[in-house]
Amino acid sequence: MFKFCPKCGGSLAKKTKTLFVCTQCEFHFYQNPKPSNALIIINTNSDVLLVKRKFEPKKGFWDLPGGFIEINETLEESTIREIKEELGVKIENIKYFKSYADTYSYKGVNFPTICAVFYTITKNNILPKIKIGDDILEAKLFKSKAIPFDKIAFKTMRMALRDFLSSYVNKATKNDKN
Ligand SMILES: [Zn+2]
């Protein structure tokens, strides 16, 4: 993916799938995934909040709110920050769900990513509190059975939603019966 040594600018030679070695200074450059986060916001009626992407990649598609981790941030801090930036609300009661490995294509460069998916269960309709940020077009609550899976931006976020709903909604339904 990358051609030049970040230390001296020499050419990188690919040694393995993840290791590139500089032909001039022998610097070892490991290609690692970029960590990212996403948050499943679900209310007690099992409505899920999705955001519509304003920019490429996948402009106009639905997505989970979230983004990339910044330097010196924890996964939790970055998730809380991204939600504040995208939705204008501070949601601190988040719980870890699962992680998903993917590839993010940006301007012709494919970045391997690893996304930590968190979730939060809210009692109230949070839509009136939301003030959408600059990089999304719209935020909307979807009934869990009406999620537009064919219009979700990324395969792994479709997987995350399906995995979460099958475990969470099944559990919630069971609890109702007990
Ligand atoms: Zn070098």
pLDDT tens sequence across 77-110: 999 999 999 999 999 999 999 999 999 888 888 8
Task: Let me know whether 11 and 96 are in one domain.
Answer: no
Cα 124 to ligand 1 centre (Å): 55
- Amino acid (1-letter code) at residue 94: I
Task: Let me know whether 48 and 80 are in one domain.
Answer: yes
Rounded-to-integer distance, Cα 71 and Cα 58, Å: 25
Task: Let me know whether 11 and 59 are in one domain.
Answer: no
Beta-carbon contacts of residue 39 (< 8 Å; ≥ 6 apart): 64, 65, 66, 79, 82, 83, 91, 94, 117, 118, 119, 120
Residues 22-62: pLDDT tens digits? 999 999 999 999 999 999 999 988 999 999 999 999 999 99
Task: Let me know whether 97 and 11 are in one domain.
Answer: no
Task: Let me know whether 14 and 63 are in one domain.
Answer: no
Structural domain count of the chain = 2
Rounded-to-integer distance, Cα 166 and Cα 37, Å: 20
pLDDT at 176 over 60: no
The single residue of 26, 56, 70, 138 carrying the catalytic annotation is 138
Task: Let me know whether 16 and 61 are in one domain.
Answer: no
172 pLDDT band, cuts 50/70/90, is low
Angle at 114 between CA 127 and CA 72, to 5 degrees: 80
Task: Let me know whether 56 and 95 are in one domain.
Answer: yes
Rounded-to-integer distance, Cα 159 and Cα 152, Å: 10
φ/ψ of residue 140, rounded to 5: -145, 145
Q: Report DSSP letters for 26-91, one per residue.
A: --EEE--PEEEEEEEEEETT-EEEEEEE-SSSSTT-EE-SEEEPPTT--HHHHHHHHHHHHHS---
Task: Let me know whether 63 and 107 are in one domain.
Answer: yes
Task: Let me know whether 66 and 124 are in one domain.
Answer: yes
Check residue 106 and give its pLDDT: 85
Average pLDDT, the chain: 92
Cα 111 to ligand 1 centre (Å): 21
Cα 15 to ligand 1 centre (Å): 14
Share of the chain above pLDDT 70, in %: 95
Cα 32 to ligand 1 centre (Å): 18
Question: Is 73 in the active site?
Answer: no
Give the domain extent around 137: 34-143
Neighbours of 118 (CB within 10 A): 22
